[in-house]
Amino acid sequence: MNVPEYLQTNFTNFSYIVASILFIIGLKMLGSADTARRGNFLSSMGMLLAVVATLLSSGMSYHWIVVGIAVGGVIGTLAARTVKMTGMPEMVALFNGSGGVASLLVGLAEYYNKEGTEMGIAIALPTALAVLIGGITFTGSLVAYGKLAERITGKPILFTGQNWVNLALLFAALALAIAFAIQAGNASVLLLVLVGLSLVLGVAVVIPIGGADMPVVIALLNSYSGLAACAAGFIIQNNVLIVAGALVGASGLILTSIMCKAMNRSLTNVLFSGFGSAVASGGGEQVEGEARPVSAEDTYYILEAARSVLFVPGYGMAVAQAQHAAEELGQILEGNGAEVNYGIHPVAGRMPGHMNVLLAEANVPYELLSEPEDVNPVMNTIDVAIVIGANDVVNPAARTDEASPIYGMPIINVDHAKTCIVLKRSLNPGFAGIQNALFFSPNTRMLFGDAKATLQAVISEFKDR
Amino acid sequence: MVLLLLIFVLSIFLGLELISKVPSQLHTPLMSGSNAISGITIVGAIIAAGSSEGSLGTILGTAALVAAAINVVGGYLVTDRMLGMFKRKEKTDR
């Protein structure tokens, strides 16, 4: 190509600006249900443009580029096409991790491409940060994946002095990063040690966090992957990386804070408290009364008479894969003249929006899904609230028991409904290790068993009549 | 450098403004969609893999490119698949 170089540079930079605009508009549109899909498409076009513009810029040898894009593209496509909706939290964690490791590798690759030349602190510092943040994102996401896929225990892994060890690791990593930056990049040993340290750090900060706090962790790691891309942008002095990375960093932070608010806990508390470990102090209030088990047949009689029904799903629905059965029962109840809604707590499940994805997969229209602040005011008009494998997010102790670890967490007040049916395997306390007075309340009926099986039993009661 | 920092700070604020209120049904798509955007590091990977200055740099760059391409392609496709499932009531044939 005989295009003058200044024209080509202008073309590349102009394309990057357009790509940045597409990312901004796309992200904005992702925030609203009607436009989300188009938003995602626009943002993908921005990405395509940025990639093509980079490929067309001068001095590229395509050989390895083709290999890299082809291999990564095929793996990504297969993963995205074959993943089940129930496996979505794990998938998101893995994609996040691959973004993190990509930024780490970009940092390393740029370092070795420029080895011997004077980097200057302005390049060396972001190199260290890309490695550090990218590394934490990578192994942190892998541990999150392991917990979500239950390859490793979902319980917090704790040891004495853990927070101090982590803090020491973090300071050591920061000190290394600064030392590397001051030496203006003439220190490959420092950089390699930093790689190792950041990989260890990613594991160390995520293992003490329990499964039910995963929504916060995933949102936070998402933010980190953006910041790592940002750091990579500073290395290659590229605007589009900085803009896109910062946007992701910010959106991840917002999601993180939404998740923390939904649990009425601070980020520090989520990250450092080892919440949900077996040693949970438990509520001060003694749970009184006894649980009232109910059969599928009795459940049928209760539901048959109900005029308004609210489903409240939790992680147990995901485990039992009961979303299709819930949808079917919802349809039957609607056909029976009842008004059916779904109350979704923001932190129900293992990732932000987990329940919504599952119910969408089961074809539940999204208008039927309401948030706690919408369903709580009308809760006493609800005839039957059906709790499917949710526990802490419907525990009235959050409202009443100041000694409870979850006190102050906004919950869905199913105990205010006229009748509450709880689908649960057993009376075991939930993830947080806290007894739930709801199960022993006079208005509550316990339908024990696998949620999918019991829902199907209730459905066949309806069909047999 | 200062200009890049300015762009960074402004983009953070822009990001915070853009998505301050998101309905919970979109939390997962927003997360996976923005995750795909963070794959923009693919641009850095292309540059690293394509500049044939040093062999180690090229190998690391290619590895970065594989990871970034997984992130980008997988992230966008899975987000689209998810969003395709979100349906309004009148559009479902029941």
pLDDT, one tens digit per residue, over A9-58 is 888 999 999 999 999 999 999 988 889 999 999 999 999 999 999 999 87
Helix/strand/coil for A447 = strand
Query: How many H-runs (helices) and E-runs (strands) does chain A carry?
Result: 17, 6
Rounded distance between C-alpha atoms, residue A173 and residue A65, angstroms: 32
On chain B, the residues whose CB falls within 8 A of the CB of A40 are 29, 33, 36, 76, 79-80, 83
Q: Give B93's pLDDT tier (boundaries 50, 70, 90).
A: very low
Domain annotation for chain A: domains and CATH numbers: 83-272 (no CATH), 296-464 (3.40.50.1220)
Residues comprising chain B, all counted: 94
Contact B67, A107 (CB under 8 A): no
Q: What is the pLDDT of residues B60-69, one digit of tens each?
A: 999 999 999 9
Q: How far is CA A77 from CA A80, A149, A360, B64, B76, in A?
A: 5, 20, 22, 17, 9
Average pLDDT, chain A: 88
Minimal C-alpha gap between B47 and chain A (Å): 7
Amino acid identity, position A405: P
Contact A251, A26 (CB under 8 A): no
CA A250 to chain centre: 15
For residue A216, the number of C-alpha atoms closer than 13 Å in the C-beta half-sphere is 24
Flag if A105 and B45 touch (Cβ within 8 Å): yes
Nearest Cα neighbor of A251 from A329, A379, A382, A352 is A352
pLDDT(A412) > 70: yes
- In this structure, what DSSP letter does residue B73 have? I
**Which token pair is B9?**
């700070």
- Whether B6 contacts chain A with CB within 8 A: no
Contact A197, A134 (CB under 8 A): no
CA A131 to chain centre: 23
- Whether B2 contacts chain A with CB within 8 A: no
- In this structure, what DSSP letter does residue A311 have? E
Q: Considering only alpha carbons, which residue of chain B is nearest residue A262?
A: B24
Mean pLDDT of the region A132-155: 91
What is the radius of gyration, based on Cα positions, of chain A?
25
Rounded distance between C-alpha atoms, residue A238 and residue A224, angstroms: 18
* Contact residues for A152 (Cβ-Cβ < 8 A; gap 6+): A143, A146
Q: Give A284's pLDDT tier (boundaries 50, 70, 90).
A: very low
pLDDT(A282) > 60: no
Flag if B48 and A109 touch (Cβ within 8 Å): yes
**Which token pair is A322?**
């009961």
Q: Considering only alpha carbons, which residue of chain A is nearest residue B28?
A: A353
Flag if B35 and A27 touch (Cβ within 8 Å): no
**Which token pair is A197?**
């340290």
Flag if A95 and B35 touch (Cβ within 8 Å): yes
Q: Catalytic residue at A401?
A: no
Instruction: Return the percentage of chain A with pLDDT > 70, whole number.
Output: 94
Rounded distance between C-alpha atoms, residue A205 and residue A153, angstroms: 15
Catalytic residue among A34, A213, A392, A464: A392
Q: Which residue has the tokens 């980097």?
A: A119
Flag if B28 and A369 touch (Cβ within 8 Å): no
Residue B10 pLDDT = 94
Q: Give A126's pLDDT tier (boundaries 50, 70, 90).
A: very high
Q: Give B37's pLDDT tier (boundaries 50, 70, 90).
A: very high
Q: Considering only alpha carbons, which residue of chain A is nearest residue B16?
A: A250
Q: What is the pLDDT of residues B6-29, one digit of tens each?
A: 999 999 999 998 887 788 888 899
pLDDT(A279) > 50: no
The continuous run of DSSP H or E covering A387 comes out as strand A384-388
State the first-to-last Cα distance of chain B, in angstroms, to the nearest integer: 58
Residue A2 pLDDT = 62
Torsions phi, psi for A293 (to 5 deg): -70, 155
Which residue of A95, A260, A368, A371 is the best one to mutate when testing the B interface, meaning the one whose CB has the most B CBs within 10 A? A95
Which residue of A34, A105, A217 is the best one to mutate when testing the B interface, meaning the one whose CB has the most B CBs within 10 A? A105
